[in-house]
Amino acid sequence: MSNNKGFSHPYVPNAEPGIRQRLLKTVGVASTDDLYASVPDALQVKGLLDLPDPLPSEHDLRSHVEGIIGQNVSCRDHLNFCGAGCWQHYVPALCDEITGRGEFLTAYGGGTYSDHGKNQAMFEFQSLIGELVGMEVVGSPAYDMGAAVNSAVTMACRITGRRGVLLSGGISGDRLSQIRGFTKPVADLSSIGIDPATGLINLDDLKAKLTPEIGAVYFENPSYLGLIESRGAEIAEIVHAAGALLVVGVDPLSLGVLAAPGDYGADIVCGDIQPLGIHMYAGGGCAGFLASRDEERFVSEFPMILMSIAPGVEEGDIGFAWSTMQRTSYDKRHDSEDYAGTTQWLWGIGAAVYLSLMGPQGMDEIGRGILQRARYAAMQIAKLKGAKVPHLDGAFFKEFVVDFSASGKSVAEINAGLRAHDIFGGKDLSGEFPMLGQSALFCVTEIHAKKDIDKLVDTLAEVLS
Amino acid sequence: MSGKQSDFQAARWNEALIMELSETGARGIVPPAMDADIAAAVGDVVAALPAGARREKLPQLPEVPQHRVLRHFMRLSQMCMGFDVTTDMMGTCTMKYSPKVHEHIARSAKLADVHPLQGEQNMQGLLELMYRFNKIMCQISGMDEFTFQPASGAQGIYTNACLIRAYHESRGELAQRNEIITTSFSHPADAATPSVAGFKVITLMPGEMGYADVDALKAAISDRTAGLMLTNPEDTGQYNPHIREFVDLVHEAGGLCAYDQANGNPLLGKVRAGDTGFDMCQFNLHKTFSAPHGSLGMGCAAVGVKDFLRKFLPRPLVAEADGGGYRLDYEQGEGIDKIRAFIGNIPAVLKAYSWVMSLGAEGLRAVAETAVLNNNYMLKSMREVRGVTIPWPANNYPKLEQVRYSFEQMFKETGVTSHDVIDRMVDYGVQHCMPSHMPMLVPEPFTMEPGESLTVAEMDQMLAALKAISHEAYSDPEKAQGGPYNASTTRIDSDVPEDPDCWAFTYRAYQRKKGHWTSESRRKIERHSGGY
């Protein structure tokens, strides 16, 4: 209460009445009310807020909160085949162990000397992502992949001095919304047509739309619909010939087997690090990254903190520091074209642990394993009456489209049928891509054993019949 | 530790970079085994990839056995001063205890392994949590509806800027109303994010009380005013008592008012954004509401609006379902575009909800009052530290949750800067403090926010360290300028991260560029990025 009676709670030690009195006396005021002298009385809350009765006992609180979230069915209770921007992968024990370390979990803005270890972990995150994507500059984590795409395409516009952004027609509705909102004041968006047969961007359409106003061309590889683009070098050549920059969005988990965008000519690369050892947390695990070549014209446009390695005064010592903060909104304030702040560093540390564990061999094996499982699942589903896998002849990673139009059933009905058998089906694409009819985006990862995939196929057969 | 002398020694493992721990053939973890039947059925999928899609050479990731990866990151964690290990009073950051029980609850598969699109009927717990917390936040703020989509304070403020944009756009006034007013001591994001959203930003400078006065606001207001976006108390810990007049003036001019509650800790249960007349606000759940700061995130902002702005919030919103339970309302209507993928940083919502439920109304008020009391206790003693001054002597109000101190006098008398003090603090086993955000209007700034979690002994230890550093500045300035001595690494060449020929953000860049570090033809660096 606002009087001097105080309040005793494990999280607020100095609210205890005796301590509070001692502090008030030292400060030289009679009551905490005196400390709010700058706040007009009319603006102060009278009495207490109308909040639920508190549960100061840790046991009682835990039981209350666990009771609420216990109503959720998790993807470990059910078989899950939904991805679409947030994917269920195995999270190694070490990732949870390290991201749970209190020193990292509760650190914040410490610097070169106070948080040396955090800074090294961040430099290593940047380094490991750099190896995967084939770039020398990687920033600290972005808010999520959509935010990284936003930063990427707008920095490309600033570098080229052009307003036009060409986006692959195959990106998700949510991503398009994120990009539309962010780029509204500074860029003009248009879309590259998709070849219905391959699901990949139509190069003739790309060429036709690559006018001198286009500063950035963006596609995803694998695409939102899981398809692998093999013409990266050709696309890069076309884009560069028109004086634009190429931005590629990737699933970093694919890069043990798929070509690094930096190696086929991408200028800026972005993606989501959630697949790298971060739990889904209903989307809370999503976190982005942004990478480019090591050129001043790129670096000076990066919005986020860049952790640089630097030599220590003692021979062989190294340290780390936030570099060139004058680039960022912390310094630029009202002149900002992008913004920085607290993002998702803990997940960056988790991703660094993940890639350190996996190594080249692990990334090759997991990429291969996902390609194999996804293809197996697609092949089996394609055999079902009423189900068609339109891109079965193409190359896809982790996700693939299943068209149920021929079954006469909607995806919503099919997913309800699957749910009745403890299976979460694919993302319903019927609202997002109406031209695909009643299609769903299925996701198969390294966690799916043959029996899991077979159960999905058998259940689908039953639901479709 | 006495605090009187620097007898602290940080862990100094001289831990090599993970890349340098690599030994050919070592494995850290093995992915799930491939079923032979699947392998046989699909054939060599990698060989079947089109040529341009295949990776020709394995990525140059390190090859390290599992326990060595563990030790590596454990050692790095030991060279990091999180709140769990030591006192952190970094201003504007609201460092506080993040209860461990929240972490243990959040690790449950019932939260960690939930997919955002798995269907409302299978995530009722999560929706109930968001629904309940929405109601709580409405009560705390005086707003009518919240979204938890933004992933940080800055993104929350950006969301406010987008809401202001959508409101004026819906009324056909956006072309005319293109100016946002903020103040110099509000967080940089209050100026930066409306600029990103396409507004021209006018920054009010402080008067002799240390905050902008009403006349400055009146001069800035016009028929171009789209809104006001600010913190109060500002990053100086000073509350602008004319805030209601500010809000009324902007409203009269047709603008909206957004209350950045990044500094909301001293106001919990004491002052509500809604009662102050604001149309919208944002809180940092990873600061004020105890969700951990996560080494710079996993952040989450709760953005709240008054009823008339509800339709502009980004989708989906959590709503009650017909026939009981909860649902996600994806109906787009006039809602602004997505700010972040899916529905928000749910673990932070869980932790914030748990924190409020542990404390209750009386507890929240105790948090605010104790944070303010602790700060004024620190201020009382800091006044006695030689070389320290408190800016704006005309302002005699007690400060709220933090104080922007100045070491200008010390600098003039000894040459020791606030950055020197900050670096030296680490030798006393406490987290360093921040000087200030840019621009550094206060010379030699030093911003300290003790929060509500610390004991008197912990506050006294911080004061003893600062007194010892001050004493050293006046008796042995060279030593005071040379710290830290007992940190996890020695002083670095701070020109390297600023020099395009030298900076290296990845191991591959470091390999290519480190030779230049010792070159005699290095550029002269004029400007350093101090202040963080």
Nearest to A375 by CA among A257, A271, A202: A257
Hey, what are B3's tokens? 């605090």
Question: Is the pLDDT confidence value at B2 over 50?
Answer: no
Judged by CB atoms within 8 Å, which residues 380-409 of A form the interface with B?
395
Q: Which fold has domain A93-354?
A: Aspartate Aminotransferase; domain 2 (3.40.640)
Computed from CA positions of residues B413, B416, B419, B423, in that sequence, does the dihedral angle turn out positive or negative?
A: negative
| Cross-chain residue pair B374–A2, CB shorter than 8 Å | no
Hey, what are A264's tokens? 């086929």
| Cross-chain residue pair B27–A424, CB shorter than 8 Å | no
User: How much of chain A is helix, strand and coil, in % rounded to 5?
Assistant: 45, 15, 40
Q: Tell whether A70 is within 8 A of chain B (Cβ).
A: yes
Q: Which of B109, B158, B367 sits opposite A74 (nearest CB)?
A: B109
Say whether A194 sits in a helix, a strand or coil: strand
Nearest to B336 by CA among B495, B199, B450, B166: B166
Q: What pLDDT sits at residue B530?
A: 52
pLDDT cut 90: percent of chain B above it: 95
Residues of chain A with pLDDT under 50: 1-3
Hey, what are B269's tokens? 């249960």
Q: Tell whether B361 is within 8 A of chain A (Cβ).
A: yes
Return d(Cα A175, Cα A180) in angstroms, integer: 8
Strand-pair partners of A308: A321
Hey, what are B229's tokens? 């976006």
Name the strand (E) or helix (H) holding B165. Answer: helix B153-170
Q: Are B357 and A51 in contact (CB under 8 A)?
A: no
Computed from CA positions of residues B323, B328, B330, B336, in that sequence, does the dihedral angle turn out positive or negative?
A: positive
Residue-averaged pLDDT of chain A: 97
The DSSP line for B450-518 is --SS--HHHHHHHHHHHHHHHHHHHH-HHHHHS--SSSSSPPB-TTGGG-TTT--SSHHHHHHHGGGGG
Q: Are A357 and B530 in contact (CB under 8 A)?
A: no
CATH of A79-87+361-464, one of 3.40.50.2300, 3.30.450.20, 3.90.1150.10, 3.40.50.970: 3.90.1150.10
Model confidence over B326-341: pLDDT tens digits? 999 999 999 999 999 9
By CA distance, what is B497's nearest residue in A?
A323
| Cross-chain residue pair A14–B103, CB shorter than 8 Å | no
Min Cα distance B410 → chain A (Å) is 22
Nearest to A148 by CA among A139, A161, A158: A139
Give the start-to-end residue ranges of the domains of chain A: 13-68, 79-87+361-464, 93-354
Residue with tokens 């309302």: B329
Judged by CB atoms within 8 Å, which residues 74-133 of A form the interface with B?
74-78, 80, 82, 84-86, 88, 90, 92, 94, 96-98, 100-118, 120-124, 126-132
Residue B307 buriedness (CB in 10 A; 0-12 / 13-18 / 19+): exposed
A93-354 matches A79-87+361-464 in CATH topology: no
Name the strand (E) or helix (H) holding B285. Answer: none
HEC string of B82-151? CCCCCCCCECCCCCCCCCHHHHHHHCCHHHHCCCCCCCHHHCHHHHHHHHHHHHHHHHHHCCCEEECCCC
Residue-averaged pLDDT of chain B: 96
Class of domain B106-357: alpha beta
- Please state whether the peptide bond connecting residue B347 to the residue before it is cis, i.e. omega within 30 degrees of 0: no
Strand-pair partners of A80: A424
Contacts of B231 in chain A (CB under 8 A): none
Confidence class for position B40, pLDDT limits 50, 70, 90: very high
Hey, what are B518's tokens? 């010792």
Hey, what are B412's tokens? 């003039």
Q: Tell whether B484 is within 8 A of chain A (Cβ).
A: yes
Q: Tell whether A290 is within 8 A of chain B (Cβ).
A: no
Question: Is the pLDDT confidence value at B256 over 80?
Answer: yes
Return d(Cα B159, Cα B315) in angstroms, integer: 12
Q: Fill in the amino acid letter for B120.
A: E
Judged by CB atoms within 8 Å, which residues 295-324 of A form the interface with B?
296, 299, 305-314, 316-324
Q: Which of B97, B239, B527 sits opposite A326 (nearest CB)?
A: B527
Q: Which of B103, B244, B431 sits opposite A40 (nearest CB)?
A: B244
Question: Is the pLDDT confidence value at B354 over 70?
Answer: yes
Q: Tell whether B112 is within 8 A of chain A (Cβ).
A: yes
Q: What pLDDT sits at residue A7?
A: 82
Question: Is the pLDDT confidence value at B97 over 80?
Answer: yes
Contacts of B128 in chain A (CB under 8 A): 68, 71
By CA distance, what is B55's nearest residue in A?
A259
Give the start-to-end residue ranges of the domains of chain B: 18-78, 106-357, 492-532
Q: What pLDDT sits at residue A6?
A: 59
B392 backbone dihedrals φ, ψ, rounded to 5°: 55, 65
Judged by CB atoms within 8 Å, which residues 207-226 of A form the interface with B?
none
**Number of alpha carbons in the 13 Å side-chain half-sphere of residue A159:** 25
| Cross-chain residue pair B84–A136, CB shorter than 8 Å | no
Return d(Cα B79, Cα A120) in angstroms, integer: 10
Model confidence over A178-220: pLDDT tens digits? 999 999 999 999 999 999 999 999 999 999 999 999 999 999 9
Q: What pLDDT sits at residue A315?
A: 84
Q: Tell whether B216 is within 8 A of chain A (Cβ).
A: no
Beta-sheet strands, E only, within A39-98: 79-80
Q: Which of A68, A181, A358 sits opposite B129 (nearest CB)?
A: A68
| Cross-chain residue pair B103–A371, CB shorter than 8 Å | no
Q: Are A153 and A168 in contact (CB under 8 A)?
A: no
pLDDT cut 70: percent of chain B above it: 98
| Cross-chain residue pair B338–A108, CB shorter than 8 Å | no
pLDDT cut 90: percent of chain A above it: 97
What is the pLDDT averaged over residues B404-419?
A: 97
By CA distance, what is B525's nearest residue in A?
A324
The DSSP line for A19-48 is HHHHHHHHHT-SSHHHHTTTS-GGGBPPS-
Model confidence over B117-145: pLDDT tens digits? 999 999 999 999 999 999 999 999 999 99
Name the strand (E) or helix (H) holding A368. Answer: helix A345-382
Q: Tell whether B479 is within 8 A of chain A (Cβ).
A: no
Q: Tell whether A69 is within 8 A of chain B (Cβ).
A: yes
Strand-pair partners of B303: B147, B282
Those residues whose C-beta lies under 8 Å from the C-beta of residue B362, and which sit 6 or more positions away, are A1, A7, A48, A54
Contacts of A14 in chain B (CB under 8 A): 370, 373-374, 452, 454-456
Return d(Cα A69, Cα A84) in angstroms, integer: 23
Q: What pLDDT sits at residue B3?
A: 47
Q: What pLDDT sits at residue A71?
A: 97
Q: Are A53 and B93 in contact (CB under 8 A)?
A: no
| Cross-chain residue pair B397–A37, CB shorter than 8 Å | yes
| Cross-chain residue pair B52–A264, CB shorter than 8 Å | yes
DSSP symbol at A13: G
Query: Other CB atoms closer than 10 Å to residue A409's CB: what's the count?
Result: 16
